[in-house]
Amino acid sequence: MATHFFGDTAVLTGRTMRHVTRSVDTIITTAIITTAIMPIAMMLMFVYVFGGAINTGSVSYLNYMLAGILLITIASGVAYTAFRLFMDMKSGIFERFQSMPIARSGVLWAHVLTSLVANVISLVIVVAVALLMGFRSAAGVPAWLAVAGILLLFTLALTWLAIIPGLTAKTMEGASAFSYPLIFLPFLSSAFVPTETMPGPVRWFAENQPVTSIVNTLRALFTEQPVGNEIWTALAWCVGILVVAYVFAMVAYRRKIA
């Protein structure tokens, strides 16, 4: 049974990857501009326009805010996943898959794995541009592996969250619009400014939402500072979002194919 699932998922993932790479206009307008160019534009704007007005102590502003830009990159990328899944639903391909002897959940996992690959590419591009802008990290291999692990877990959690509107949205705009609050969330966190500078209610929200703990953990890993209990809070948020999103996505999927 497990072999059947993994084999079907691998074939379906190959099909989804080919579908993405064959659509040149989609790659340029959605995959590249939305998931890589927009975060890079934000990074350039914040560093060269606003960075001089924000006091981050001895840490350069680029080093301070990169973690937040990486999370925005992921949030932008998963919107494309919801869009692709919605288009599959509308094309009737799911009905054809149901008539075939394949693992049904493999269809969703194919979109999830494609999202992971696409987001990894976008993250690498953003980090490469940050290095050209002057980002430097003294982090060793274990710290970089921890950063990669957290980013992959966060991507997996948001991707399963994106599966829900991809299955349930009535329009193409509705399928991808869910990501707007996710992109905005880092602005109400410690990603770009210290939370100490925020007014009371906003500061309370910023310090108790998932992005802040994830950003603080990534920032500490980049600078080889002690992460303390912050990493456990970040992992708990990622795993919690992943589990809840997965359950609701599977419920929505079963209703669709029932």
pLDDT in tens, 29-43: 555 555 778 889 999
Number of other residues whose CB lies within 10 A of the CB of residue 145: 12
What 3 state SS string does 192-208 have?
Answer: CCCHHHCCHHHHHHHHC
Neighbours of 58 (CB within 10 A): 6
43/9 Cα distance (integer angstroms): 36
Q: How far is CA 130 from its chain centroid? A: 18
What is the structure's pLDDT at 154? 95
Mean pLDDT of 67-90: 84
Residue 45 vs residue 104, higher pLDDT: 45
d(CA 55, CA 75): 26
pLDDT above 90 (res 243): yes
Average pLDDT of the chain is 82
Q: Are 69 and 43 in contact (CB under 8 A)?
A: yes
Residues 6+ apart with CB under 8 A from 98: 104, 257
Contacts of 21 (CB under 8 A, 6+ apart): 27
What number is the average pLDDT over the span 17-29?
59
Range of the domain at 72: 2-257
pLDDT value for 54:
80
pLDDT score of 1: 45
Looking at the predicted structure, is the pLDDT value of residue 255 above 90?
Answer: no
The answer, yes or no, to whether residue 201 has pLDDT greater than 50, is yes
In this prediction, residue 203 carries a pLDDT of 94
Higher pLDDT pick, 88 / 3: 88
Q: CA distances (Å), 64 to each of 10, 26, 35, 191, in order?
A: 38, 32, 21, 8
pLDDT tier, 22 (very low <50, low <70, confident <90, very high otherwise) = low
Q: What is the pLDDT of residues 216-238, one digit of tens each?
A: 999 999 988 888 888 999 999 99
Read off the pLDDT band of 104 (50, 70, 90): low
2: pLDDT strictly greater than 60? no
CA distance 166 to 175: 5
pLDDT band, residue 112 (cuts 50/70/90): confident
**Cα–Cα separations (whole angstroms), residue 5 to 8, 9, 11, 236:** 5, 6, 10, 28
* 3-class DSSP assignment, residue 234: helix
Say whether 202 sits in a helix, a strand or coil.
helix
What is the model's pLDDT at position 202?
Answer: 92
Claim: this prediction has a pTM higher than 0.85: yes
Which among 80, 81, 48 has a CA at the least distance from the CA of 65? 48
Number of domains making up the chain: 1
Question: What pLDDT does 96 receive?
Answer: 63
Query: Contact at 8 Å (CB) between 175 and 199?
Result: no
SS (H, E, C) 133-154: HCCCCCCCHHHHHHHHHHHHHH
Cα–Cα dist 118/81, whole Å: 9
